[in-house]
Structure 1
């Protein structure tokens, strides 16, 4: 294996290991937190949508994710799946 391939593979493994989408960070989410507080904990969301003052944002992928519903700027409900 070339050095370049090895470096790329190592980087990908490290990146996956450093995911903020985990049980530890999920347990820090509380109802009433602001979007800014959540994003400082989890980073930028993978996807967001909303209307009429309500929004829903998701971090992660189909296997492992955290989903948060906001009313205005505050966490209303949240759920997670596949967290380690």
Structure 2
């Protein structure tokens, strides 16, 4: 294995370990938080959808995710799955 391959593999492992989708950040969420505060904590969401002043955003994938529901610009409720 070349040095370049080892460096790339190490970078990928490090990047995965630095995910913001984790139990520590999930525990920092609270109802009433502003959408901007959530995005500062978790980064840009993977997906968002909404209508009539309500929206739902998800960070992560089908195995490990955090989902946040907003009423206007404030967190109404949130859930997570597969967090470490």
- Specify the TM-score bucket, using the shorter chain as the normaliser: over 0.9
Q: Kindly report structure 1 stretches of 4+ aligned residues shifted beyond 2 Å.
A: none
How far apart, in 1, do the equivalents of 2:48 and 2:35 lie? 12
> How far off its partner does 1:3 sit?
1.1
**Are residue 43 (structure 1) and residue 26 (structure 2) matched?**
no
Alpha-carbon deviation of 1:4? 1.2
Q: How far off its partner does 1:17 sit?
A: 0.2
For structure 1, the 5+ residue unaligned runs are none
Q: Tell me the alpha carbon deviations over residues 1-43 of structure 1, each in whole angstroms, 9 at most, x when there is no partner.
A: 0111111101100000000100010000000000000001000
TM-score, structure 1 as length reference: 0.98
Provide the rounded CA distance (Å) in 1 between the counterparts of 2:66 and 2:9.
26
CA distance in 2, matches of 1:53, 1:38: 17
1:8 match:
8
Q: How many residues align?
A: 84
Provide the residue aligned with 2:56 in structure 1: 56
List alignment gaps of at least 5 residues for structure 2. none
